[in-house]
Structure 1
Amino acid sequence: MYKCNVNRMEDKIKTFSQFGDAGHGGITRYSLSKEAEMARDEFVKRMKAIGAEIETDDLANIYATIPGSDPNAKRIVMGSHCDSVKNGGNYDGILGVMGAMEVLETVVEQNIPHKHPLTAMIFTNEEGSEFPPCMMCSGILAHDYMPERFKDNFEYNKMMASRSILDPNVTFGEKLSQFKYKGDIKNRMSPDKYKALFELHIEQGPILEDAGKDIGVVTCVLGQMIYRVKFYGFAAHCGTFPMKKRHDAFHAAAEALCWLHEEIDKLGHEDLVYTTGEVVIHPCVNTVIPDYFDFSIDVRHENPEVLDQVREILFQLPKKKWQQCDCEVVLGWNRDTVYWNKELVGYVREAVEELGISHMDINSGAGHDAQYISYMIPTTMIFVPSDKGLSHCEPEHTSVEQCTDGASVMLNAVLKLDQASE
């Protein structure tokens, strides 16, 4: 069994944390930004130093490849993203890039024999922090292979027209056209050139830490649905309009949200998670009774029947009167549970057992580039713990030893696939 280099991993973590340093231990590194360009420059510099060939595609995805002994073999690719949310951490996404780099560096340093070319990759715009949606460019890559009902979400022209949250006058396509790493469409990942994808990632939750395990053998990404729940009342002066005559949309939404929590919790599914994270209120003036309120509800579970149970509860909302307001429930997003390739999951499990690292099977409640690429080529993921379960925030942290263990597991799993495949 081969092991990656903990000192080299530590150096990468420290170096990449400088690009977009937000001053409080984390980063803000939007896709296509100057900070993202700096991170990519470092990736390219280090990969060229080991003799990797660098390619970029029309979406600015970067591929760094070292050859295998069989020039006709398909590539085995490892990677993730280098962009972050605002005031995010130093591990989400970028660990998958650093882990892929570490695998290639270890193979070159130790002269490990392998048939297939090995590729380290950076996906563009996974977070969608400036240009929605998230996982944009992996979705575009996999567009022709994904279920028909998902295709509209990642239609190329629609994605290019995505407007910046920071400056609505700028589209993703316009910024991409001026980006240093925009390349040629012929370099895109495709099934005729690529055999499989491995993605190393932090867990982003507390399950591994609570269980005292150092590696998560990921089996799937949970199904997810996002709805918008909208309430319509009418506005009036807050000081002069009687309480009993009001159609207060905010009050209606608050009452309905509490009812939702009670009804969903009655289902008794402890592994079901749901969140209201975004609201819209109009006119948002302290002296005016709100005439409109809109909240999101994000629901995730592996079993589609459980999601359907929640959906039925949501659909009861418009049938009721909430503070004399009308209610509308609108679907915003839907995805199926994505199960990883069983052969690849098996290689990960074999690798971690042979390395003697504590581990457990786990699912992913968060979305990742790998879930869309799985429609195109066989795919799997490896998780390492997140301290206190924190992610998408500056305290996000995973020990360098655990990061290196994750890379070592990925290296040996990749070699198992390489040896088993033509």
Structure 2
Amino acid sequence: MPHNLGIRVASSRLASTFDESCSWGSTPDGGMNRLSLNNDDKRVREWLIEQCKQLGCSVKVDQMGNIFAIRPGKNNSIPPIGMGSHLDTQPAGGKYDGIVGVLSALEVLRTLHDNQVETYAPVALIDWTNEEGARFPPAMLSSGVWGGAFTLEHGHSRSDASGNTVKSELERIGFLGDVPCSYEANPLSAHFEIHIEQGPALEAENLRIGVVTGVQAMNWYNIVLRGREQHCGTTPMNMRADTLLCAAKMIQSINQQSLALPGARASVAVINSSPQSINTLSGRVQFNIGARASSDALLATLDVNLEKACKEVVEDSVRLDESIMGKSGEGGVKMEVWEKIWECPKTVFDERAVSMVRESAREVEGGRFKDMVSGAGHDSVYTARKVPTAMIFIRCKAGISHNPAEFSKQEDIDAGANVLLGALLRYDDYLKEKTAA
């Protein structure tokens, strides 16, 4: 029987911690704009480290800026049990995405400290750098380096729209650590993560807690189209190599392809065109596709269908242009780039770690929870490559996320933090029994 299962987090303290930490990056509409490695991210990182040191934690910062605040246990020869998520947000994000995971982990450390609980294994709070990928694509970048999905050189060289690299910004804000960013050099025994659901399923069933068993498969693509800059007022409608129009047709086809495959999703949420002039047809368009599916096989089918459908749109543009302009014409809109810039196979979380989340949810919520597969990627995707991993979802209003209206009730946040606390203690007892055996 796990020790200290009756202890609970302090709700009022957890609520005030949200108010305090979200003062860095808050926006007038109640949301958050705390892009990875900006000045507000620097300030909240410094605040987090100070809070953890007050609890007797030692703090390590690795070469990707990941923060590991470690509370010692009885047997410090074994790697710590990790509780991790992220503090960076989308440009027009909310106060809960990722943040709830780090602050709940902080409250778990405080609760252990208040109750003078000595765990068998050390326990680590982790703030993973650049989970969102909003400033430095791709998403989950630094947990990906730690988990071996990306090299350190790849991680350091990612740049934002202004050309600033991850490495240069880590140096600027003072978080380019010297601890190697890898599981082998800086291991964990397990990884647990709380996150808002970012969907409506829990609210629809009036449940606070979801036990996450895995994450669906995901691919990101970069597409660049090249047409002709032409005068909008003087060029006849039937004599245009209209790059934006071609992109619009492709986006519509992308939507149709995903609708045709149950369990698949594909979206275009980023599009850039040039020149930016109301009086000139764009000659160049760049956009990204985010594709997801319930299985690797289904995503592979979607991959083929998306590329085929988009190339057909381009070919139709070329045929139409040549029928009007002749073979001497420029041949309509061309696809200069079709590249897969990120791929993440389906993740299945460790059954033992998941079962401990279930047991904790049963204790905290009286069995009112559901097993779920995450539709979004999280840092736990990459920790699962190296260590037993599980996730906890909490209910969020209307499933809204990446939006200032993002909201979770305090009672739901409390429930998630208590489930995390129980799962952590159960895994700690498992490690103790395993070591003794």
Distance 1:418 1:247 in 2: 63
1:39 maps onto 2:44 in alignment:
yes
Structure 1 counterpart of 2:389, one-letter code? T
Partner of 1:376: helix, strand, or coil? coil
Partner of 2:84: helix, strand, or coil? strand
Structure 1 counterpart of 2:241, one-letter code? H
1:342 maps onto 2:351 in alignment:
yes
Question: Which residue matches 2:159?
Answer: 163
Give the CA deviation at 1:305: 2.2
CA shift in 2, pair 1:134/1:192, >3 Å: closer
Q: How does 1:269-284 map to 2 (within 5 A)?
A: 269=262, 271-284=263-276
Give the CA deviation at 1:115: 0.8
Distance 1:297 1:306 in 2: 16
CA deviations over 1:23-66 (Å, ceiling 9, x no partner): 22122222223322221222222222222222222322222222
Give the CA deviation at 1:91: 1.2
State the TM-score, normalizing by the size of structure 2: 0.87
Question: Which residue matches 1:139?
Answer: 144
Q: Select the residue among 282, 288, 292 that pairs with 1:300.
A: 292
Q: How does 1:91-130 map to 2 (within 5 A)?
A: 91-130=96-135
The question of whether the paired residues in 2 share the 8 Å contact of 1:55 and 1:187 is answered with no
Distance 2:251 2:182 in 1: 44
Partner of 2:47: helix, strand, or coil? helix
The question of whether the paired residues in 2 share the 8 Å contact of 1:73 and 1:115 is answered with no
Distance 1:171 1:257 in 2: 30
1:266 maps onto 2:275 in alignment:
no
CA deviations over 1:297-346 (Å, ceiling 9, x no partner): 21111212222222232232324413544553432322101111111011
1:246 maps onto 2:255 in alignment:
no
CA deviations over 1:380-419 (Å, ceiling 9, x no partner): 1111111111111212111111111111111111111111
Question: Which residue matches 1:409?
Answer: 419
Give the CA deviation at 1:191: 7.2
Question: Which residue matches 1:393?
Answer: 403
Distance 1:308 1:187 in 2: 31
Partner of 1:225: helix, strand, or coil? strand
Give the CA deviation at 1:266: 2.8
- The alignment-based identity, stated in percent, is 29
Question: Which residue matches 2:24?
Answer: 19
Question: Which residue matches 2:78?
Answer: 73
Question: Which residue matches 1:220?
Answer: 214
Give the gaps of 5 or more residues in structure 2: 322-331
Alignment RMSD (CA, Å): 2.2
Give the CA deviation at 1:103: 1.2
Distance 2:222 2:423 in 1: 41
The question of whether the paired residues in 2 share the 8 Å contact of 1:226 and 1:296 is answered with yes
Distance 1:138 1:164 in 2: 18
Question: Which residue matches 1:372?
Answer: 382
CA shift in 2, pair 1:273/1:192, >3 Å: same
The question of whether the paired residues in 2 share the 8 Å contact of 1:228 and 1:296 is answered with yes
Partner of 1:261: helix, strand, or coil? helix
Distance 1:18 1:87 in 2: 15
The question of whether the paired residues in 2 share the 8 Å contact of 1:301 and 1:307 is answered with yes
Give the gaps of 5 or more residues in structure 1: 147-153
Q: Select the residue among 356, 361, 370 that pairs with 1:352.
A: 361
Partner of 2:173: helix, strand, or coil? coil
Give the CA deviation at 1:187: 8.0
Distance 1:219 1:229 in 2: 33
Partner of 1:346: helix, strand, or coil? helix
The question of whether the paired residues in 2 share the 8 Å contact of 1:191 and 1:376 is answered with no
Question: Which residue matches 1:8?
Answer: 13
Question: Which residue matches 2:283?
Answer: 291
1:314 maps onto 2:306 in alignment:
yes
The question of whether the paired residues in 1 share the 8 Å contact of 2:152 and 2:181 is answered with no
CA shift in 2, pair 1:49/1:294, >3 Å: closer
Aligned residues: 409
Question: Which residue matches 1:61?
Answer: 66
Distance 2:131 2:352 in 1: 26
